[in-house]
Structure 1
Amino acid sequence: MPAADENADADNPYLREPPTDFAPIEELSETEAEQQVEQLREAIRVHDRRYYVEHEPVIADRTYDTLFARLQALEDEFDLAHPDSPTRSVGGEPLEAFETVEHVAPMLSIDASGEAEDVRAFADRVQREVGTVEYVCEPKFDGVSMEFVYEDGWLERAVTRGDGREGDDVTANARTIGSVPQRLHGDYPEFLAVRGEVYMPKDAFQDYNRERIERGDEPFANPRNATAGTIRQLDPSVVAERPLSVFFFDVLEASDLADSHQAELETFPDYGLRVNDRVEVVENIEGAIEYRDRMLEARDELDYEIDGVVIKVDDREAREELGRTARHDRWAYAYKFPARAEVTTIADVAVQVGRTGRLTPVALLEPVDVGGVTVSRASLHNPAEIAEKNVNVGDTVRVQRAGDVIPYVKEVVEKGSEGHYELPATCPVCDSPVERDGPIAFCTGGLGCDAQLRRSIEYYAGDDGLDLEGLGEKSVRQLVDAGLLDSVADLYALEREDLTDLEGWGETSAANLLSEIEASREPPLADFISALGIPHVGPTTARELAREFGTFAAFRTAAEAEPDRLEDVEEIGETVAETIHDFVTSEANAVVVDEILEHVSPQEADTGAGGDELDGLTFVFTGSLEGVTRSEAQDTVESHGANATSSVSGNTDYLVAGENPGATKQDDARDNDVPIVNEDEFWALLAERGIDLE
C-alpha cells in the first residue's frame, strides 16, 4: 500500500476488500466492540486519505459507507465517541505541492444512505425542527469538489475541498477549464464564493483513456481519478489539454444572499456559472425519493458520473436554523445509488502495445463495482478469446477479477452490437503491419515503434536494467516527446543543455542523470543482457547467461547460431531459448543493439564458481558505491551464495546505502526493520565472513 497505508495494521480486515456482513451489534462484548471501533477508525482514516488526498481509493463508495455507518453505530451503542474519530471530522488534507488556503466557509461532507427509510428519517427531523419545507434535488456528481471565489466579478482563487476547512490553491489550473468563467456576467454580487464540481465527461474520459493506453500510459481507473489527477498537475498546460468541465451548485458565502437555494441557482446562469439541467424542486420527501428513482433510471444516459442524488432544504433561513455538525450540514442528505455489480457496458476498446510489441485489447467499461473495487477497464486477452466470447463495443458484459486482482470480461450478458471486435490491421501507434502468432498479435515495428521504444528505454534504465536513477517513466516520456530520444543509444548523446531547456530540469538534476549515463558505459554483462528487454529474460536469467558465456559477443553468437546451447543454462527451456534466438536475429533489434554497443562495452563476467559464505542472505543496494558499481557489488554477494534483489521487503537482510541513496528504499527498510549499512560496514561484513576481495 502507498504512503498513507504504511503505518496501518497489516492485520486490519477493513483495509482491503473489507467484509461488510457484520455480526449483530447486540452479540458483541464491550471488548470486541472497542477492538472493531479501533480497526474501523484506522481503516477509514486510510481510505479517507486514499480518496481525498491521493485519489486512489481501494474500495467502492458503498463499501466505505457501510464501514462508516458501522463505526457510527458502534460508537453510539457503546458510548465510544471520541474527538479524534473519523465520525467527528472530514477526511483528507491538502497536498504540500500547492499553497494551502482557508475556505471562506466550511466545505463539509453530506450525510448519506442508500435506504429510503433513512431519507425519510432525515425529513422527519427537518419537519420537527423547522416545520414543512420544500427540497431542491440535484444529481450527486462524482468528481472533485472545489471552492471558486469571485471578487468584483473576477475569479480570485479556486481551492480544492481538502479537509473541508482548507484546501489547495489550484487557481492557475482552474483558469484553463473552459466552463469556469474568469469574470462573471450580469448583476453579480461584489463578493461571491460558490461551490462547484469539476469532472471529466464520460465520453471524453473514454477517448482520453484510449489515447493513454495506445501510447503506453497507464489508464485512469475512472473519471473521478482522471479529474483529481489532472486538477493537481503542477503544469497548467497539462490541465488545459485534458477535457475537464464543471457544474456550480451552491453558494458558500456572498455579499448579497438570496432567500432560497432555488433562487440562487436561477441567478447562476446570469453570472455565467454553469448549472445542471436535472435540478428539480419538490414539495416533500416522497417527491425527492421519486426524483432519485428517475435519476437512477437515467443514470446511464448522462455524460457524467453520478452516484446518487442530493436533497437540500430550499429555504436559507431554515438551513441556518438546522445548522451543521463537525462533519456535515444538517440541511442536506444524499440518497445513494446501489453500486453497479459486475454487469456493465463496453464503451470502447483500446489496443495497448507492450514492450515486446504484443497487442493487448482492453475493454473500456462504464465503471462497475467488482468485489468492492470500482473497475473501468478489463482485459480481453487476445483475438481468439474475443471471437470465442463474441465481444464487441456496446455489449453488456459480466466482469470478474482473476485471482481477485486483474479484471477481465467473463461473458456477454446481452448483445448490443453485430459480431465481435476485430483488432486493427496496423499498429495504433506506428502504423506498422500487425502479424499473428497463433492467438497472439504483434506490431512488427520493433524498437522503431514509439510505444515499444519508450517502454524499452524505461526498461533499459529501470531496476531490472542499468538502474539509471533520474530516468523514470515520466522523464523518458518527456525526452521522447521532445525529440531527444529516438533510440536507446540516444541516451549517450544527451547533453546538459538538452535537459536544462526542458520543464522541471535544473543544473543539478541534469548533471546527476548525465553522470548516471556516463557510469553505465561499462555495465556488468548480466545487467546489460537484462537491460535489453529480451522477453522472459530478467535479472536472474541474465546472470545465469552471463556466467555461462562470459562475454556479450559469446552470448550473442550462441543465441544466433546455436540456440540449442542456451537450453544448457539453468532456468532456460526450449521456449525461452527460441524467444532469445528470435530477439537477437531480428533485424530491427540487431540495429538497435549495434547502436548501443557503439557507446557501451559490457564487462566480462566471471564464469567460475564462488563460495557459500553468504548463503541464505538477501541484499539490496541503493546509491553509488566507491570503486565498484552496484551491479558489481550484487555479483560479489551472489558469487558467495547470497541473493541480490532490487526492492526491500521483509525477506531482505541488509540494505547497503552508498552515496545519494534512494529515500524510498531506506523508508521501506525502516518499515520492515531491515538493517541499513554504509559501504564501509558492508565490506567489513564480508570480511567477517571470510570473503577476501584482494
Structure 2
Amino acid sequence: MTIKDKIEALREELREHNYNYYVLDNATITDYEFDIKLKELEKLEKEHPEFFDANSPTQRVGGGITKNFDTITHKNRMYSLDNSYSKEDLLDWEKRLQKNLGTTEIEYTCELKYDGASINLTFENGKFLRAVTRGDGFQGDDVTTNVKTIKSIPLIPKKDFLLDFEMRGEIILPLDGFNRMNEERVANGEEAYRNPRNTASGSLKLQDSSEVAKRPLDCLLYQVVTNERKYETHYESLEAARNSGFKVPQTIILAKNIDEVLEFVNSWDEKRHDLPYETDGVVVKVNNLLQQEELGYTSKSPRWAIAYKFKAEQVTTVLNEITYQVGRTGAITPVANLEPVHLAGTVVKRASLHNADQIEKLDIRLGDTVFVEKGGEIIPKIIKVDLSKRPENSVATVYATHCPECDTELIRTEGDAKHYCPNEFGCAPQITGRIQHFISRKAMDIDGLGGETVDLLRKEGLIKNYADLYELTKEQVIPLERMAEKSAQNMIDGIKKSKEIPFEKVLFALGIRFVGETVAKKLAKHFKSMDNLMQADFETLIAVDEIGDRIAKSILDFSSNEGNIELVKRLKSYGIQLEVSAESMENQTDKLKGKAFVVSGVFHQLSRNELKKAIEDNGGKVSSSISKKTDFVVAGDKMGPSKLAKAEDLGIAIISEQDFIDMIN
C-alpha cells in the first residue's frame, strides 16, 4: 500500500467512526483508539504535505483564527416561514394549496422545528465547500472554519448522493452539553449562559475555531437544495441525505391530510420536553418537489411550507411603567416596562403594547399584574390583565399626546392604528432610524458602518441625513470614540462602494413609508428612474400592479416634500444609482405587457425560474394560480391534470416551452 493509499484509508476509516459516533450514536471503537488513529493520520499528513485535504478528519480540531467573517450572498435565498397557531390556520393554508395546485391530492411531511442557528452548507463535486449563516436570507456570514469542527457534519458525503447541492439545517446545542458548559462556567466564577439557542449562534462567531471545537455543537439537517432532479419528493431527498451521512432526525413523518398533521403536533407538544434539544413547533411541507416548484414563494416565505408553533409559555409579572419609542417613520410604539421575569430561557423586562387601541382593549394600567408570553417564541407580548390583583388606587392609562423625544404633538390619521410624530427632519430617533435603514444590508449595504456609529456621527453633528454620509472624510471620523485609522478607512470605502448599489435597492433604502423590498422592485421596474417616480400622479401610481391607494399617497407625500426633493437631488450629485442601469435593461422589452402567465410542469430548455424571469423581463406578469385573468399557461411535462382541465374550461391558451421562446424572440 502506498503512503497516499494509507492516508486515504485512514481518512475513510475515521470518517466512518465519526459517523457512527456523532450521527448514529453508536460508537464502534473507544475514544482512545480513535485518537491513536487520528494522531497516525496527522503524522502522515505532516510528513507528506503534498496529500493535504481540507476535508480530512484532522481538520476538524480547529485552530484557524477568523478576524472578520466575510459576507457571502446565498446562491438560493433562505426564506423565513409563515406561522400558524391553530387547526383553522392549517385548514386555510391547505385550501390555498389546493386552489393553487388545482388538486386535493397533496401529501405532507411533518418535522420538528429546531431552536438553533440556521445554516447553509454548500457542497461542490461531492465535497464540503462552505458554511454560511442565514443572515437576512439574501446573504450571511462565512463561518466555514468554525462549522468544520462540528463532527456530525460529513465533509465528504457517501458517493451515491448528489454532487453539487446545498444542505439547510440548524446548528444546535443539545441540553446536556449546554448544562455541562454552564456548570463549568459557574465553577469558574463566570456568569451562566442564558439559553442554548443564543449560545449556539454565538459559538459560530467565535474567532478561534479551536474554542468552537470544544463546544458540543450539533447540526440537524432539514432540506436539500439542488438543480439535480434525482429525487421526486422532499421526504425521499432527506432519506437519501441520511443514508449519505447527514444527521437528519428520525422524527420526520409523512402525512396524508391536516388531521394527520395535527396528530403529529399534539403528540410532540407532549413529548418535546423529553427531547435532547429545544424545539418550538412543527414545520409542515408539501412533500412533492414538483408541487413545491408550482407553488413558489411570496416575497417572504415559501407557499409550500408553514410552521405550526406550540402554545407559547406564559408567566405573570407586574407592569411598572409605560414608555414610548419613536421609529424611523415617526411611528410611536408604547412599551411595557416590567418587573424582570424568566420566560422561555430569557429574562424579560419589556414587552410591546403595539398601540393605543391595544392598551384600551386590555385596559392595562400601571401596577397591574399581567400575563406575558413570547409571540412566535421571540417577541414578548402582554396577553391579558389579572384584574383580581389590580391595585385599589388604579387609574386608567392616558396615551401620550406629545413625542417623547422632541415634544412635537402627535398625530393619528383616520384608519391608522398608530400615532405619529410629524417632526420628520428634527426628531433624533427618526433621523438616526432613517440613516440606519439606509445603510442596512437589504438597502445600501454599507460595510464598516453600524447603528451605534450612525448615532455617534449624528450626535457629533457630522450627519443630519443619509445624504451627508457621502461628504464624510476619514479625517472627520478618526477622532470618534473607538475609531481607528483602519476602521475609519473601511467606513469611507464602504460608503463609496454603495454608489454601485442598483436602483431598486436605493429606492428601498430611501425609507418611503409602505415601500418595502418587493414594492421597491415593482416601482423601479415600472418607472425606471427616481425622476419618473417622483413626477407620477396618483392615477399613474395606482395603475402599477399591486400599488394601492395607501402606497400611492405615501409616495406622493414623499415626492412633494421639499426636504426629500433636496435629499434626492444631492444623492444624484454624488453618483448614487437613481435609475435602472443599462446592463439590467438589456433583454428587457414590453412584448408581454399586460399579459398574465401561469408556469406549470417540468421544462427542459429553461428552468422554471428562468421562464418566470423571462416573462417578467418582457413585461409580463407571473401568477401562481389559473383564473379568468390568466392569458397563457406555459405547460411542461407532468403538468397537473386538474390545472390543465381548469385552463381548458376557461378557454385559456396553453402553450409549450418552445412556443413561449418563439413568442419572446
Fold conserved (TM > 0.5)? no
* TM-score, L = length of structure 1: 0.41
Q: Greater relative contact order: 1 or 2 (C-alpha under 8 angstroms, separation 6 or more)?
A: 2
* TM-score, L = length of structure 2: 0.42
